[in-house]
Amino acid sequence: VMKRVIGEMHMAEVQIAYGMTETSPVSTQTAADDDLQCRVSSVGRTQPHLESKVIDEQGRIVPRGQVGELCTRGYSVMLGYWNNPQATAEALDPARWMHTGDLAVMNEQGYLSIVGRNKDMIIRGGENVYPREIEEFLFGHPAVADVQVIGVPDAKYGEEIAAWVQLHPGHACDAETLRAYCKAHIAHFKVPRYFRFVDQFPMTVTGKVQKFRMRELMLAELEQGAS
């Protein structure tokens, strides 16, 4: 999308920023003079007067190039959630680091790439699978207009991968076609077992996809099929 914006809309200096409501306005941003690859594959570097770190489940900073949870600290971080000290304590640690819940990788130059959400990560047969990676890959298929990937319980592997797919108008595609497309390009444990073709995704009133609702619907469908 970024490459098309630059090439077709002639927005040569377009940049990407990363932020949350709790860290308004942004925590990281690319620069107008960054090379194209940085601008299309990362959310940039930490903004002035802010700090960023990527940590493991024990709170230790991970080496550059490894996946962990992104934390940010500084003037942009909220004081807390209104009248909700418990939620505030879950998001903000005593050192005032905001735990974003986003999984990220920081490279040697300090550029951050968001690879998914903590709660969305799928563990299939002991392998960590990041839905965003599969989603971005499937976006590359000419028939796919939008896609959301979730994990569903599985007796053998712990979790299996399910992809909900919206097709472009006028395009036809089936599960076997997309499965073969995946098998030819990505690791076997990342290939979705289930494909569901839909006209729309469950959404919040603010337009965010409700993956928890997708899991509920998918689980009910699988249980009904098993019975």
Instruction: Decide if pLDDT at 173 tops 70.
Output: yes
52: number of Cβ within 10 Å: 21
The C-alpha angle with vertex 108 and arms to 106 and 114, in degrees rounded to 5, equals: 20
The pLDDT value given to residue 197 = 97
Domain 2-118 superfamily per CATH: Luciferase; Domain 3 (2.30.38.10)
Q: How far apart are CA 80 and CA 86, in angstroms?
A: 10
Instruction: Decide if pLDDT at 227 tops 70.
Output: no
Instruction: Decide if pLDDT at 94 tops 90.
Output: yes
Instruction: Decide if pLDDT at 57 tops 70.
Output: yes
Percent of the chain whose predicted confidence (pLDDT) is above 70 = 100
Q: What are the pLDDT digits (tens) for 134-149?
A: 999 999 999 999 999 9
Provide the H-helix boundaries in 26-96.
36-41, 85-91
Spatial CA neighbour of 146 closest among 135, 162, 155: 135
Instruction: Provide the CATH number for the domain formed by 121-226 in this structure.
Output: 3.30.300.30
Per-residue DSSP letter, 31: -
- Quote the strand ranges of 142-201, DSSP E: 144-154, 158-167, 194-197
Report if pTM > 0.75: yes
DSSP structure string for 205-216: TTS-B-HHHHHH
User: Where does the chain hold its CATH 3.30.300.30 domain(s)?
Assistant: 121-226
